[in-house]
Amino acid sequence: MIRPAAFGFNPETAASNAFQQKGNSENILEKVWVEFDAMVACLCENGINVTVFNDTALPKKPDAIFPNNWVSLHHNGRVVLYPMLAKNRRTERRIDILEKLQTEFTIKQLIDISDEETEEVFLEGTGSIVFDHQKKIAFACLSPRTNENLLQQLCTEIGYAAFCFDAFTTSGKAIYHTNVLLAIGKNWSVCCLESVHEKDRERLKYQLENNGSLVEISFEQMHHFAGNMLGLSSASGDFIVLSQSAFDALHDMQKQQLSNAGKLLPIAIPTIEKHGGGSVRCMMAEIFLPKKEK
């Protein structure tokens, strides 16, 4: 997780992110720090290991709090660096963070596809891709930020199968990131199937039901970030991390279904969600890298 040095409504991402809202930004960074620190504390209190890096002051990076878009860290020691659409987000990629991680974890291969930015080709990490690591499937809804050909190339490199589909907001705009409509954990998934194009809906539903319990959410629930969840584990058991907004939007039956898969950890981050257009899943880049032996 990245503790931000700057935060705010990013006009460079707003054109493709319908979840961002421009509003009163008075004392916004102080509010974000409170929300960020409370989230870290909640995760740690439940035994989840959290590695926090501080954002650098310059250049200013309004979305640095969302590291999952520029990097993914895989079980076999692979690290992938991704191309991002917004020019003012590209400085979020920090080799110094990888160097620090390398003191504790083993990095065997760096797959850097970020140069695709120069060709206006984008694939924004685990915002664009929702990985099913058990079945080795990479799910992606196509958008200006998610290029199908580049996804196929990456999947060939890492040994995953690509599963692409189209999904739209109620106004007919392509949903900018897959992880706002879809979450996949151990034997569970959450999906806003009504946002998925009819040509893709049944095959996606079939694939998700093969993974275990599928919780279907509505457009309204999706817009409260109910699709932006992440399954995590600690010595205490399995957890599903979601925002308080997402939790409040769920029906009792949906909460019960999810609770069967893991303890729900709702975390209040209203300022981050409103101005950043992302939620708790976007704030966490999972570390699957093998630990170095001491």
- Divide the 294 residues of the chain into consecutive groups of 10 and give the mean pLDDT of each group: 83 51 71 97 97 96 96 97 96 97 97 97 98 97 97 98 97 94 97 98 97 95 97 95 98 98 97 93 97 84
CA–CA dist 139, 193 (Å, integer)? 13
All domains in the chain, ordered by first residue? 2-283 (3.75.10.10)
Q: Is 277 left (phi over 0), alpha (psi -120 to 50) or beta?
A: left
Q: Give the Cβ contact number of residue 134 at 10 Å.
A: 12
CA–CA dist 227, 179 (Å, integer)? 7
Phi, psi (rounded to 5 degrees) for 259: -65, -25
pTM across the whole model: 0.94
Of 18, 14, 36, 3, the residue nearest 223 (C-alpha):
18
Per the listing, tokens 């850097």 go with 112
Q: What is the structure's pLDDT at 14?
A: 46
Residue spans of beta strands (DSSP E) within the chain: 2-3, 53-54, 71-73, 78-81, 109-112, 130-132, 137-141, 161-165, 182-185, 188-191, 213-216, 230-234, 237-243, 263-267
Q: What is the structure's pLDDT at 89?
A: 95
Sign of CA dihedral 210, 213, 216, 221: negative
Tokens of 160: 């995953």
